[in-house]
Amino acid sequence: MNSPLLLAAAGEVGSDFFKERSSDTLPCQAKPNEVFCFDWARENIDRFGTPTVQHLELVLISLLLGFAVAFALSLLAHRRKWLQPPLLGATGVLYTIPSIAFFFLLLPVTGIGKDTAIIALAAYTLQIIYRNTMLGLDNVPSSAKEAARGMGYTDRQILWRVELPLATPEIIAGLRIAVVSTIAIATLAVFIGGGGLGTQIYGGGNLTFPTSIFIALAIVLLMALLFDLVLLTVQRLTTPWRKARQT
Amino acid sequence: MSDAPAASSVRYEETTKVYPGASGPAVDHLTLEVPAGEICVLVGPSGCGKTTAMRMVNRTVEITSGDVLIGDRSVRDREPAQLRREIGYVIQQIGLFPHRTINENIGAVPQLLGWKKERTRERAAELLALIGLDPELGDRYPAQLSGGQQQRVGVARALAADPLVMLMDEPFGAIDPINRERLQNEFLRLQAEIRKTVLFVTHDIDEAIKMGDRIAVMREGGRVEQYATPAELLMAPANEFVEDFVGADRALKRLALMRVRDIDLWEAPLAHVGQASSEVRAKLASPDVEVAYPLLVDSERRPLGWLSERDLTAEVVPQRPDSPLGPVLELDDVMRDALADLLQGEAQYAPVVDHQRRIIGVLSVEIISEFLKSPEAKSDEHPAVERPHE
Amino acid sequence: MTGSLPLSSLGGAIEFIFSEQTSNVTGGQKVGGFEQAMELTLNQLEVTVLALALALVVALPLGLYLGHKGKGEFILVGLANGGRAIPELAVIALVAALIGVGLVTVAPALAILGIPPILTNAYVGVRQVDRATVDAARGMGMSELEIIRKVELPLAVPTVMGGIRGATIAIVATATIAPLAGVETLGDFIINASIYGDDGRLAGAILVAVLALTLEGLLALLQRRLTSDGLKVKTA
């Protein structure tokens, strides 16, 4: 069975886009096999503005949400060891389900729009951040914990002043992976009406064209690179002791 | 550093620890008193409960029954975390916080106690000086320090809040022997100044004898077989267990407790450069001469070397003696080291000099062994506070 | 939004999977039903397995070899990070627009998405094998190939399988939107809700989720079978 060409409105950008297209007579971007059309790019670069902002919004909110939940779960599982396997399994399930399917599993509950996208994206990051946080906490040298306890630190003080600071590198490593993945997956938000750069790849029920796709791709990759570098810098700044080696 | 006594006694009263599911108690009704300002060493084979006993003082191991009192207060009176902030704690693996600078590590307990930043900073500087570290190291991270330096910081950290009691669990165990000796000596020097009450756990009897004012030899169940000063332990072990643990060489171990000044030295016939050989030979011929060779000294009576038969064939005592001086000892030297020097130097005699290097007498292996056999040596009570150290 | 309760949606979706429905759009022609669901599932499975096989053939030997030699770490780390950053939607779209539609073009594209995790994990898996163990093996007279086969590979199984599972998840996810490039997978139900209706859309989502979880479960079982008992023993 073939998918018929339909004017199903998946978003406002879609219908606008269609109108614009039909008014031209085979411009460079519509030519088959035209890989990149610089003229079009130059003229239409500002149409990527709003989608980029939407994309950023999706990424930042879902990361904050995902981090908050995963971090809370880690602290819980750190105290109660028996929670670790089930939590790992549960977050693993969320990670395994393809995001686009996840959007529509949530649909009956949360509806169309960016909220659903955000919840699904956040769910995807849970396992990454949870696992890395647990790893970081496990790697804290037990001699430091023992000394802290013997010196008179309470359990809570040990967690916040010794364990978590020392686990920071792993936690941030997890965040970096989560950020990069989320930026990529957020392109799928277009399918659930969540906006984002995916709208420039698949708009109006149809794939767009190479030039637009390439630009969207480039913005996504650049965003990922930027966030990765920022987090790397944050890690360097918050862990000065790692640079110090025996002189 | 305050001169007010900042140390309390520690008293175990029928202190018992039973782990759930264990066949017997780890520590069985331990009763022991550590006087304030003294180092009490808990020594024994692994698993005897010495570490468990020590850790019941700061409740890193909870007491099953009985009590531990610091001064007059039971340790069970207070919140564990509060209690521990008043007790210095040094462990074998040190456990410095990798993510904090040395100053921050040292200032950890003061910070917990709410000291002002300025006061903490001053205290950290004071302690760094006390343990003999460059104040510049204060801003470095533990990873940048050597093992020996880290261990010293560990001790400084334990002293930071001027605790009443110090607990040290094999603190020098992970260090190489050379640095271990240095650290032990430095700690003893420190202790002479600050006089803390210290509970020191080790499995090494030599360390116990060196460090302890009092030693508790333990066996399984934390049972104390003997609680005595090092001298008592060496001269009068309470039973076979203690005797075996102390070791068959306890006579030699006693030498670690003595100094050269404690013994009667022999006199060597002295010779000066340019003196007539006949005079020297006359001295040698004397019936009560103790040493068979003349010692060449300068005008200040400082030893230059030993004279041989050949040297004396000349008219006049030569400037350069045949035999070199060999090991030279001082009155303050530890007897065991003196014996080691003699044996290693393959010297029959070693001159003993004062601080200006002037000859006082001569020591030989024979003198030492005679002394050990003498009744005087057997009955001597060597005061516990006199610690021989470098 | 429709405002329908989740449970009733679920009911509709289940019905869609098992019995054919009348579509609003195609005027009378039936959609859905068990046969169609199975067809699309099998299609998705087909392209996934194909892509995975391709990725394994390329990445596994290379990763194991590089790990054994200890070369190329820098590039591989970059590859792993880069691979994660590529949006699958763009890949499918570009393949469809520039290369061509159909299984022949889509499967390799999916394989490329699966290569980074397999490659990186194969490298890391071999690398983290205790050098002392490898030394001992070499000293015993094992050839380089034997070392890889008998020592490094068994010890690297957990990490390597982790990479394969990660690749599978990525490939299955991308295969879901493969209908955009002419490969009719379960994503068709999701993307073309206008034909299949809300029920069809939810049905598609459920089927994709089940497929992904089943594959992951099977691979987890496989990993357990392949992991030697010695590795499974956890130190206290």
Q: How many domains would you assign to chain B?
A: 2
- Per-residue confidence (pLDDT) for residue B59, from 0 to 100: 93
Instruction: Match 């704690």 to its residue by tokens.
Output: B89
CATH number at residue B159: 3.40.50.300
pLDDT single digits (tens) B323-381 = 888 888 888 788 888 888 888 888 888 999 988 889 999 998 888 888 777 765 555 54
A227 touches chain C (CB under 8 A): no
Give CB contacts under 8 A, 24+ apart, made by C137-144: C144/C68
Residue A83 has pLDDT above 60, yes or no: yes
Shared domain for B248 and B273, answered yes or no, is no
Q: Domain range spanning residue B194?
A: 10-254
Chain A residues interacting with chain B (CB cutoff of 8 angstroms)? 141, 143-154, 157, 162, 165-166, 239-241, 244-247
Residue predicted with more confidence, B318 or A179: A179
Query: Is B82 a domain residue?
Result: yes
Shared domain for B197 and B121, answered yes or no, is yes
Type of residue found at B301: R
pLDDT tier for residue C1 given thresholds of 50, 70 and 90: very low
Q: Which residue of A has its CA nearest to B157?
A: A151
Sorted by sequence, the CB contacts under 8 Å of residue A110 that are 6+ apart come out as A116, A119
DSSP class of residue C180 equals: G
- Per-residue confidence (pLDDT) for residue C196, from 0 to 100: 81
Residue B31 has pLDDT above 90, yes or no: yes
Residue A246 has pLDDT above 50, yes or no: no
Q: Name which of C96, C190, C193 is nearest A101 (Cβ-Cβ).
A: C190
Shared domain for B144 and B56, answered yes or no, is yes
Q: What percent of chain A has pLDDT over 70?
A: 85
Residue A18 has pLDDT above 60, yes or no: no
Q: Which residues make beta-bridge pairs with B216?
A: B42, B227
pLDDT tier for residue A209 given thresholds of 50, 70 and 90: confident
Shared domain for B87 and B148, answered yes or no, is yes
- Per-residue confidence (pLDDT) for residue C37, from 0 to 100: 84
Q: Which residue of A has its CA nearest to B57?
A: A150
Shared domain for B243 and B163, answered yes or no, is yes
Residue A14 has pLDDT above 50, yes or no: no
Average confidence score pLDDT of chain C: 85
Q: Which residue of A has its CA nearest to B147?
A: A246
Q: State the Rg of chain A over Cα.
A: 23
Residue A25 has pLDDT above 80, yes or no: no
Average confidence score pLDDT of chain B: 87
Whether A207 and C93 have beta carbons less than 8 Å apart is answered as: yes
User: How much is the average pLDDT of B163-189?
Assistant: 88
A104 touches chain C (CB under 8 A): yes
A148 touches chain C (CB under 8 A): no
Task: Pick the last residue of a domain from B227, B254, B281.
Answer: B254
- Secondary structure of chain A in HEC code, one letter for each residue: CCCCCCCCCCCHHHHHHHHHHHHCCCCHHHCCCCCCCHHHHHHHHHHHHHHHHHHHHHHHHHHHHHHHHHHHHHHHHHHCHHHHHHHHHHHHHHHHCCHHHHHHHHHHHHCCCHHHHHHHHHHHHHHHHHHHHHHHHHCCCHHHHHHHHHHCCCHHHHHHHHHHHHHHHHHHHHHHHHHHHHHHHHHHHHHHCCCCHHHHCEECCEECCHHHHHHHHHHHHHHHHHHHHHHHHHHHHHCHHHCCCCC
pLDDT single digits (tens) B280-338 = 888 888 887 888 888 888 888 898 888 888 877 878 877 787 788 888 888 878 888 88
C190 touches chain A (CB under 8 A): yes
Closest Cα in chain B, distance from residue A147 (Å)? 5
Instruction: Match 């910070």 to its residue by tokens.
Output: B111
Query: Hey, of A207, A209, A225, A226, which one would you mutate to test binding to chain C, going by the most C CBs within 10 A of its CB?
Result: A207
- Per-residue confidence (pLDDT) for residue A230, from 0 to 100: 96
- Predicted structure pTM score: 0.78
Q: Which domains does chain A have, with CATH numbers?
A: 49-239 (1.10.3720.10)
Query: Is B108 a domain residue?
Result: yes
C1 touches chain A (CB under 8 A): yes
Q: In chain A, which residues have their Cβ closer than 8 Å to the Cβ of C179?
A: 3
pLDDT single digits (tens) B33-47 = 999 999 999 999 988
DSSP states of B178-225: HHHHHHHHHHHHHHHHH--EEEEEES-HHHHHHH-SEEEEEETTTEEE
ipTM: 0.85
Q: Coil, helix or strand for B113? A: helix
Residue B148 has pLDDT above 60, yes or no: yes
Structure token digits, residue A160: 């916040």
| C-alpha closest to that of A202 among C177, C201, C114 | C177
Residues B16, B62: Cα–Cα separation, whole Å: 10
Sorted by sequence, the CB contacts under 8 Å of residue A179 that are 6+ apart come out as A59, A63, A224, A227, A228, A231
Query: Is B69 a domain residue?
Result: yes
Closest Cα in chain A, distance from residue B267 (Å)? 53
- Per-residue confidence (pLDDT) for residue C25, from 0 to 100: 57
Chain B residues interacting with chain A (CB cutoff of 8 angstroms)? 55, 58, 60, 81-87, 89, 91, 93-100, 108-109, 112, 140-146, 154, 157-158, 167
Residues A217, A215: Cα–Cα separation, whole Å: 5
Q: For C33-227, CATH number?
A: 1.10.3720.10
Shared domain for B187 and B272, answered yes or no, is no
Interface contact C89-A202, CB threshold 8 A: yes
- Per-residue confidence (pLDDT) for residue C20, from 0 to 100: 65
Chains B and C touch, contact meaning at least 3 pairs of CB atoms under 8 angstroms apart: no
Query: Is B310 a domain residue?
Result: yes
Shared domain for B271 and B143, answered yes or no, is no
CATH number at residue B343: 3.10.580.10
Interface chains of chain C (3 or more CB pairs under 8 Å)? A
Interface chains of chain B (3 or more CB pairs under 8 Å)? A
Shared domain for B222 and B267, answered yes or no, is no
- Per-residue confidence (pLDDT) for residue B3, from 0 to 100: 47
Closest Cα in chain A, distance from residue C189 (Å)? 10
Query: Is B385 a domain residue?
Result: no
Residue C65 has pLDDT above 80, yes or no: yes
Q: State the Rg of chain B over Cα.
A: 26
pLDDT single digits (tens) B44-77 = 998 899 999 999 999 999 999 999 999 889 999 8
Closest Cα in chain A, distance from residue B208 (Å)? 23
Interface contact C98-A191, CB threshold 8 A: no
Query: Hey, of A107, A190, A211, which one would you mutate to test binding to chain C, going by the most C CBs within 10 A of its CB?
Result: A107
Interface contact A144-B82, CB threshold 8 A: no
DSSP class of residue C95 equals: I
Task: Pick the last residue of a domain from B214, B237, B254.
Answer: B254
Shared domain for B173 and B215, answered yes or no, is yes
Shared domain for B196 and B276, answered yes or no, is no
Sorted by sequence, the CB contacts under 8 Å of residue A138 that are 6+ apart come out as none
pLDDT single digits (tens) B182-206 = 888 888 888 988 899 999 999 999 8
Residue predicted with more confidence, A94 or B324: A94
Query: Is B2 a domain residue?
Result: no
CA distance from start to end of chain B: 23
User: How much is the average pLDDT of A50-66?
Assistant: 95
Shared domain for B79 and B198, answered yes or no, is yes
DSSP class of residue C80 equals: H
Interface of A with C in 42-61 (CB under 8 A): none
Residues A31, B88: Cα–Cα separation, whole Å: 80
